[in-house]
Amino acid sequence: MVSLSVLNTEQQNPNTRHIDKMQTLDILKAINNEDKLVAAAVEKALPQVAVLVDKAFERLMDGGRIIYVGAGTSGRLGVLDASECPPTYGVPPTLFSGVIAGGPEALVRSVEGAEDSKEMAVNDLKAVTIGPKDTVIGLAASGRTPYVIGALEYAKKIGALTGAVSAVENAAVSAAADVGIEAVTGPEVIMGSTRMKAGTMQKLVVNMISTSLMVKYGKVYDNLMIDVAPSNEKLVKRACKIIMLAAGCTEEEAAEHLDHSGSNVKLAVCMALSNKDKPSCEDMLAANRGNVSKTIHALKHGAVE
Q: pLDDT of the chain along its 305 residues, tens only?
A: 555 566 888 888 989 999 999 999 999 999 999 999 999 999 999 999 999 999 999 999 999 999 999 999 999 999 999 999 998 998 999 999 999 999 999 999 888 788 999 999 999 999 999 999 999 999 999 999 999 999 999 999 999 999 999 999 999 999 999 999 999 999 999 999 999 999 999 999 999 999 999 999 988 888 998 888 888 999 999 999 999 999 999 999 999 999 999 999 989 998 888 888 899 889 988 988 888 888 887 877 765 44
- State the amino acid at position 200 in one-letter form: T
CATH class of 233-300: mainly alpha
C-alpha span between 174 and 178 (Å, rounded) = 8
> Which residue ranges does the chain devote to CATH 1.10.8.1080?
233-300
Q: What is the pLDDT of residue 305?
A: 43
Fold of 4-216: Rossmann fold (3.40.50)
> What residues are annotated to the active site?
84, 115
> Which residue ranges does the chain devote to CATH 3.40.50.10490?
4-216
